[in-house]
Amino acid sequence: MGKTGVLPKQTLRELLASGCLSGITERYLNPASIDLPLAEEAYRLESIFLPLHEGEKVRDLLPTVGATPHRFDTPLEVGVPYLFRIAGEWKLPSMVYGYANPKSSTGRIGFFCRTIADGIDMYDALFRPGWSGELWLLARPDYFPVLLQPGLALSQMRLFDGKSFLDDLHTELAIGDAGLAFDEGGKKLSLSETRRHDNSFMLTIHVEGMTGWECRGTRKVLDMSKTGFYDPADFFEPVCVSNGKYILRKNCFYILTTRERIKVPPYLSAELRAIEPRLGEFRSHAAGYIDPGWGCGADGEGCGRPITLEVIPQEDTLIRHGQRIARLRYEYMKSVPEVRYDDSGGSHYSDQETARLSKHFKKPVQL
């Protein structure tokens, strides 16, 4: 375990108790991240945007982007950007910074979601240690209208006190200890049996039999506060493949899965990189963060779990079984979290074995 890294749940709780994070309760704490609940302030925009310099506040830019108040009882229109204030007040300690990712149930409905912050000229980043100010969420439904309500969390924030990525030496040691990647049959993959690039594992795509789901868009409204409610057939069509290849169509959205089964030991966390131009003209993932304890099982002897991919092609793209699709990078936790993903209970995704739709859909949704 590194001396610096991702802050675990027990440390996040200390930040709440100290007043560094106020207005956010225990219910929004995860093993190694904080869910970002929506406040009651929302706007319809003409475009997305970013602050330009450190002194520029998001609120002051509302007239520039044609912001008009949005009512929560009105569905968000397809293709239209919106801005939501994140609840709470943020005053990070002088050595702490953060990065955000959309939550899995946000990414799996093709819902564009980016966090922006006062004085930060990048999306999903509180890269300035000791940052304080207002945090906001840019959101845009791209395939069907979406209904939201205050208190829902569409994104999550990880906090760090320093970078601590897993290098090749410690990757090999972690493989020997618990395993990180496994094949489709559950066999542990050695370092030599994987492909690495820039401290990352290269993952491949499953394109055989019942492969995943395709969304071409619909006018039906999805209420994100509902769980196990919707019929998948109202929003998605199953992708069935008989010859190990499939063409992803531009302007469609796909729920697919990796061939590899991924395990994240409790002393690590991991992030799937959404865009790798050298692999193709597509976005391979919308959420991306994988909690410590993923795929470990209750006794720590689990052989990983496939990673669901939310793929958005920019061109009509032929994919084939075993094609490289994404990069996964591990990093150390500051300390092992008191609650690990597979022990936390209640997750819709803790038993996924193939491409799984979001928690809003009725079961069976696993192919």
Q: What is the pTM of this model?
A: 0.93
Residue 122 near residue 73 (C-beta atoms within 8 A):
no
The helix/strand/coil state of 80 is coil
Helix (H) or strand (E) holding 153: strand 153-160
Q: Which residues of 4-16 are buried (b: 16+ CB within 10 A; e: fewer)?
A: ebbbbbebbeebb
Decide if 352 is inside a domain: no
Q: Which of 112, 138, 160 delimits the end of a domain?
A: 160
Task: Check whether 346 has a pLDDT greater than 60.
Answer: no
At 175, phi and psi to the nearest 5? -65, -45
Q: Are residues 117 and 249 in the same domain?
A: no
Q: Are residues 111 and 177 in the same domain?
A: no
Alpha-carbon distance 168 to 176, whole Å?
12
Q: Are residues 270 and 208 in the same domain?
A: yes
Q: Are residues 316 and 338 in the same domain?
A: yes
Alpha-carbon distance 351 to 200, whole Å?
25
Decide if 365 is inside a domain: no
Work out the mean pLDDT of the chain and round it to a whole number: 93
pLDDT at 173: 93
Decide if 363 is inside a domain: no
Q: Are residues 137 and 172 in the same domain?
A: no
Task: Check whether 366 has a pLDDT greater than 50.
Answer: no
Decide if 112 is inside a domain: yes
Decide if 116 is inside a domain: yes
Q: Are residues 22 and 97 in the same domain?
A: yes
Q: Are residues 293 and 204 in the same domain?
A: yes
Residue 257 near residue 272 (C-beta atoms within 8 A):
no
Decide if 361 is inside a domain: no
Q: Is 345 exposed, middle or buried (0-12, 13-18, 19+ CB in 10 A)?
A: exposed
Mean pLDDT, range 37-42, rounded to an integer: 98
Q: Are residues 338 and 199 in the same domain?
A: yes
Q: Are residues 301 and 233 in the same domain?
A: yes
Decide if 249 is inside a domain: yes
Q: Are residues 313 and 333 in the same domain?
A: yes
pLDDT-derived band of residue 298, with 50, 70 and 90 as boundaries? Answer: confident
Task: Please give the residue range of the domain that contains residue 215.
Answer: 168-344
Alpha-carbon distance 182 to 165, whole Å?
20
For the four alpha carbons of 262, 266, 267 and 270, in that order, the dihedral sign comes to positive
Q: Over the stretch 178-234, which tens digit does the pLDDT of each residue have?
A: 899 999 999 999 999 999 888 899 999 999 998 999 999 999 999 999 999 999 999
Q: Over the stretch 94-152, which tens digit does the pLDDT of each residue have?
A: 999 999 999 999 999 999 999 999 999 999 999 999 999 999 999 999 999 999 999 99
Q: How many domains does the chain have?
A: 2
Decide if 156 is inside a domain: yes
Q: Are residues 98 and 245 in the same domain?
A: no
Q: Are residues 121 and 182 in the same domain?
A: no
Task: Check whether 1 has a pLDDT greater than 80.
Answer: no
CATH assignment at residue 62: 2.70.40.10
The DSSP string of 168-234 is HHHHHHHHHHT-SEE-TTSPBPPGGGS-EETTEEEEEB--SEEEEEEE---S--EETT-SS-B-GGG
